[in-house]
Amino acid sequence: MDFTKKFNLGLTLETGYEEFASFLETYHTYIHSFYFSPPVDRRLHTRTKVAQAFWLPGKKRQFWKMLALIKSYGIELELLFNTLQLDAELIGKTAQQLARNGVEVDSVCFLGDYYDAVRTYFPGKKYILSFNNGYQRKAQIEQAIEAYDAEVFVLGSAFIRNNKIFAYLHEQGKQTYLLLNNGCSFNCGTCNNVLSVCEKSFQENLKHHSVEYLYALQSIFPHELRDGTIDPTHIQCFKISNRSSNLKFLRGVLDSYITGRVDDYVRADTNNYAFWGRAGYFWKHFSKMDLQKIRQYKEQILHKDAGERLYAPDETKRETE
């Protein structure tokens, strides 16, 4: 599979400028765009770790240099407004700070509530509806198409294997960015980055399914992009969740998806399960998870309609260990 210009990556400050420059030199041909939140206001950031990184010595200056370097490679910049409790004033303030630093973004990814403000302060950009809008049913997507003049939908969760939805969006003249490795539950019902909600959904699902089954369902292994499980024909980009991690992690994720390797990474470190499903509630289970069971469950899942919505009705009993 050709991964040229296929990856949509998060801009991480868990690195130095020179290391980042070396990373770009190696991987730029695979990168379509970087998404980022600038150091304007804490409310723009979903993760405390990412927000706090800006207060380390020299990190703000490094951030602006990194954006300029990205643009020099012809890679797109995607601005995020994907958190709660933002307002038009803050969105306008963000536009002003970007202009002062000479940054021209190519696209803006946002929650639906901010649509009017985004159009006001970022006219003519590519508009992307964030994964955090929580779309999990086709009807929600249909409503969003009617409500917003957006070119792109970021999909994940229950849609990760739903080739019908990817094709439908293409028919509607829209693009899909598929979130590969967030590892979200299919039935949390929302996405407000509230970790307690994520954990609650996971614990409830564990009453009915083994952790290997849930990981198999909610993760995407490289072979799924190659064997027809996920049809990439109508997927513009593969979005990677990585902003709170370092470049070693990101290199591993990219190398795995590009080369198709899984086993080598798991044998080297079971925490590398995060490459393909990094939801926080999985981490404490990684060291005990059985890769062979995961593969078996994926085979079962891929023979069911797992991409449509939630879990199949006959899967109400916990799988035997």
Tell me the pLDDT tens digit for each residue of 205-248: 999 999 999 999 999 999 999 999 999 999 999 999 999 999 99
Q: Would residue 164 count as lying in a domain?
A: yes
Contacts of 91 (CB under 8 A, 6+ apart): 81, 114, 117, 118, 120, 121
pLDDT at 55: 85
Contacts of 52 (CB under 8 A, 6+ apart): none
Q: Would residue 139 count as lying in a domain?
A: yes
pLDDT at 308: 43
Q: Would residue 210 count as lying in a domain?
A: no
Split into its structural domains, the chain has a count of 1
Domain that holds residue 231: 7-188+220-269
Q: In the structure encoding, which two tokens stand for residue 43, read together?
A: 């409310």
Contacts of 256 (CB under 8 A, 6+ apart): 222, 262, 265, 275, 276
Sign of the torsion angle spanned by Cα atoms 220, 26, 237, 69? positive
Dihedral, CA of residue 191, residue 192, residue 195 and residue 201, to nearest 10:
-40
User: For residue 137, which amino acid is it?
Assistant: R
pLDDT at 89: 98
Dihedral, CA of residue 305, residue 307, residue 311 and residue 313, to nearest 10:
-30
Q: Would residue 313 count as lying in a domain?
A: no
Query: N- to C-terminal Cα distance for the chain?
Result: 35
Assign 195 a pLDDT band (cuts: 50, 70, 90): low
Residue 96, phi then psi, degrees to nearest 5: -65, -40
Q: Would residue 151 count as lying in a domain?
A: yes
CB 110 within 8 A of CB 82: yes
Question: pTM score, two decimals?
Answer: 0.92
Give me the residue label for tokens 């564990």.
206
User: For residue 201, which amino acid is it?
Assistant: S
Q: Would residue 283 count as lying in a domain?
A: no
CB 211 within 8 A of CB 285: yes
The CATH number of whichever domain residue 60 belongs to comes to 3.20.20.190
Q: Would residue 51 count as lying in a domain?
A: yes
Tell me the pLDDT tens digit for each residue of 32-58: 999 999 999 999 987 778 888 888 899
Tell me the pLDDT tens digit for each residue of 166-178: 999 999 999 999 9
